[in-house]
């Protein structure tokens, strides 16, 4: 994965950790749909995917390749323990 793109994703993870209250409030407001940890993780991963896709287009001036997407998935998998600690 492109180094600049990776830094942007790292920043989004840091932002998510720093803004736990925002995430908790979002999860609480959607708790009538689902109040599980996997749902909360889905919200965070959705934010990260949005960052990955948007920044790929902005930084690389193109949509991410299949390999870049697979790299992103591996990256998220490696960061799962950090993400689990958000709530």
38-73 residue pLDDT tens = 887 888 888 888 888 988 888 889 999 999 999 999
Q: Rounded distance, CA 52 to CA 37, Å?
A: 22
Per the domain annotation, does 55 fall within a domain? yes
Per the domain annotation, does 21 fall within a domain? no
Structural domain harbouring 55: 1-12+37-87
Per the domain annotation, does 87 fall within a domain? yes
Nearest Cα to Cα of residue 49 among 79, 6, 9, 19: 9
Per the domain annotation, does 59 fall within a domain? yes
Per the domain annotation, does 17 fall within a domain? no
Per the domain annotation, does 26 fall within a domain? no
pLDDT band at 24 (very low <50, low <70, confident <90, very high): confident
pLDDT band at 87 (very low <50, low <70, confident <90, very high): low
Structurally, the chain folds into a number of domains equal to: 1
């Amino acid at each position: 994965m492109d180094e600049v793109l990776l830094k942007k994703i790292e920043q989004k993870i840091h932002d998510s950790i720093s803004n736990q209250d925002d995430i908790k409030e979002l999860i609480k407001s959607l708790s009538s749909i689902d109040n599980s940890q996997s749902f909360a993780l889905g919200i965070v991963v959705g934010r990260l995917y949005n960052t990955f896709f948007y920044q790929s287009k902005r930084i690389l001036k193109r949509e991410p390749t299949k390999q870049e997407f697979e790299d992103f998935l591996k990256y998220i998998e490696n960061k799962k323990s950090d993400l689990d600690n958000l709530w």
